[in-house]
C-alpha cells in the first residue's frame, strides 16, 4: 500500500466520470477545510496481508493527525502511486476498513466516491509534514 498524505487548508472535488461499472452512480461535489487528504494505492501484495497493512495505514494516518493537530481525514483511492494494484473489490474494502478504524480512533473520516475520476483542487500547507509519503 502506498499513502500520499497532505495537510490541507482546502480540498475540493467533484465526480467527473465513472471508472468502475459496479460503482454506485453519483454526482458529488464537496469541499473541506483544515483536513488531512490521504491518497491511497492498494497494491496486489496487500491482498495477502490485509489486517497488517490496514493497521499500518491507520497508525500512520493517526500519527500525522496528531502531529498536525487535524481531526478531519478524507480518504481518496488513487491508483497512480504504484504499478501494482489490488483487485477493485479488495481496494474498496481495504479503504472502507481504514475509514472505519479511523472513526473508531476519533477522527472525522470520509471517502471520496470509489470508482470515479475526479476534478479536484487542493491547497497543501508548506510545512515539511504537510506532504508525507509512505510505502507500507
Q: Which domains does the chain have, with CATH numbers?
A: 2-135 (3.50.80.10)
Rounded CA gap, 116 and 135, in Å? Answer: 23
Give the per-residue SS3 of the chain: CEEEEEEEEEEEEEEEEECCCCCCCCCCEEEEEEEEEEEEECCHHHHHCHHHHHHHHHHHHHHHHHHHCCCEEEEEECCCCCCCCCCHHHHHHHHHHHHHHHHHCCCEEEECCCCEEEEEEEEECCCHHHEEEEEC
Per-residue pLDDT band at 6 (split at 50, 70, 90): very high
Q: What is the pLDDT of residues 20-45, one digit of tens each?
A: 888 888 999 999 999 999 999 999 99
State if pTM tops 0.85.
yes
Rounded CA gap, 71 and 85, in Å? Answer: 29
Q: What is the predicted pLDDT for the residue at 80? A: 84
Going from the C-alpha of 66 to that of each of 12, 107, 113, the distances in angstroms are 23, 10, 26
Percentage of the chain exceeding pLDDT 90:
90
* Higher-confidence position of 14 and 81: 14
Q: What is the predicted pLDDT for the residue at 73? A: 98
Q: What is the predicted pLDDT for the residue at 81? A: 87
Amino acid at each position: 500500500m502506498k499513502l500520499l498524505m497532505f495537510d490541507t487548508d482546502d480540498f475540493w472535488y467533484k465526480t467527473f466520470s465513472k471508472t468502475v461499472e459496479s460503482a454506485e452512480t453519483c454526482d458529488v461535489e464537496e469541499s473541506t477545510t483544515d483536513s488531512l487528504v490521504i491518497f491511497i494505492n492498494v497494491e496486489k501484495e496487500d491482498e495477502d496481508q490485509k489486517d497488517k497493512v490496514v493497521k499500518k495505514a491507520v497508525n500512520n494516518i493517526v500519527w500525522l493527525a496528531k502531529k498536525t493537530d487535524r481531526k478531519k481525514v478524507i480518504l481518496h483511492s488513487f491508483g497512480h502511486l504504484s504499478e501494482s494494484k489490488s483487485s477493485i473489490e479488495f481496494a474498496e474494502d481495504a479503504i472502507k476498513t481504514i475509514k472505519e478504524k479511523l472513526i473508531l480512533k476519533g477522527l472525522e473520516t470520509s471517502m471520496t466516491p470509489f470508482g470515479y475520476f475526479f476534478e479536484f483542487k487542493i491547497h497543501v500547507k508548506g510545512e515539511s509534514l504537510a506532504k508525507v509519503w509512505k510505502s507500507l
